[in-house]
Amino acid sequence: MTFTPTLSIPRDDVAATLTAYEPSTTREDIDRYMSQMQSMFTHLVTVDGLDAQAAEQSVRGMYLEELSAATAERNDQDEIEEATEDDVLNMTFEEAMSGGGCDSYEEFEQRYSTWL
């Protein structure tokens, strides 16, 4: 008989995280994600030798915290103001080459998408 450890992350937590990330998440999506998390948890405990608490913490980090961070980042990006024609015309070559005052390429792409 093979021991299969059980992941104790509530389905409601997973559903809330997935739905925040992608509002059109289905029950099947949640089931599939739960299955992937359980498989990773089982592997960490039975193959890698982690205790259940450490394995659960790792799974939370890999699956749920990453989605929460991505959701927060996307929500922050929603607030980026699109550049106007004047912004583009008044930008120096140096400013353009150093990212146009943006902190990331994603921000630059969103702010200047009309002008790229």
pLDDT for 2: 66
Across residues 2-30, what is the average pLDDT? 90
> In degrees, to the nearest 5, what angle opens at C-alpha 87 toward C-alphas 85 and 93?
110
Among residues 38, 29, 35, 33, the alpha carbon closest in space to that of 8 is found at: 38
pLDDT for 68: 85
Q: Which has more confidence, 112 or 3?
A: 112
Q: Which has more confidence, 55 or 107?
A: 55
pLDDT for 37: 94
| Dist. CA 46–CA 73, nearest whole Å | 34
Entry pTM: 0.61
Please give the C-alpha separations between residue 49 and each of 5, 43, 45, 54, 93, in angstroms, as whole numbers. 12, 8, 5, 10, 55
